[in-house]
A = this chain, B = another copy of it.
Amino acid sequence: MELKDSHNLIINNVRRFIELTDLEKHRFISLLKEITIKRKNFLLQEGDVAKYEYFITKGCLKNYTLDESGTQHISMFGIENYWTTDMASFISNEPSRFFIEALEDTELLAISRTNYELLFKEIPKFERFYRILYQRSLMSYIRRTNHGISLTAEERYFRFKEQYPQIINRIKQKDLAAYIGVTPEFMSMIKSKIKKKSET
C-alpha cells in the first residue's frame, strides 16, 4: 500500500532512529492528524495549552515569546522534516508563553498528548525515537546557549548562516534579528558592515 508524501516524510524521519514494521507504520500514521495553516496564522498563541506535538511536512514556522514592550523573541524556526511545539506546555498542560506562527502556508502532522501516550503504550520503541530526538534537540540548544553567552551578535549571525543555510533565505531579516537577539536596526548594520569588509 502506497503512502502519501507527507506520511513517507514522517516515517523516514522516524526511521532515522528506529525500525518499523508495516503494521507499526500504519498504526503510527493513524494516530496523526493532518493540519494546514495559512501564512500569518497561529498554531499556538500565548495562553493556549499546547495540545499537540507537530511534525512539519511543508512550510515554515516561527516559535516566539512577546515581552512587555511587544518585541518578539524567537526560540526556533521550523521547516519541513522538523518537529515543533511548546514542550513545557505540551507536557504539563499549562498555558503556553509562546506563539507559533506560520511564515509560509504550512502543512503539519500533529500528534495529541493522548495519542502520544497511546503510541508509547502500543509501540514502546517510540520512546527510543523521542529519546534520541530530544537528545539531539538538547544538543543544539546547549550549543545555542553557549553561543549566546560567548559570541558577539556578528559571530552569532555567521554561525546561523553556516548552520541553517536552508532557513536563512526563507525568513525576514527582522525575524533573524529576533532569533539572534538584536534589534532589526542593528542586524541591518551588521550586514552592511560585513558587506563593506568583503569589498575591500
Residues of A within 8 A of B (CB): 65, 67, 71, 73-75, 87-88, 91, 120, 124-125, 127-128, 130-131, 134-139, 141-146, 148-150, 178-181
11 more A-B contacts (CB under 8 A) besides A73-B149, A141-B141? A65-B146, A91-B136, A124-B124, A124-B125, A127-B127, A127-B131, A131-B131, A134-B135, A137-B138, A138-B141, A149-B178
When the two chains form their complex, are residues A143 and B73 in contact, meaning their CB atoms are under 8 A apart?
no
- Of the residues B74, B91, B149, contact of A135 by C-beta under 8 Å: B91
A65 and B141 contact, Cβ closer than 8 Å, known pairs A124-B127, A134-B134: no
- Give the shortest distance, in Å, between A64 (CB) and chain B (any CB): 9
- Give the shortest distance, in Å, between A132 (CB) and chain B (any CB): 9
From A141, which residue of chain B is reached at the shortest CB distance?
B141
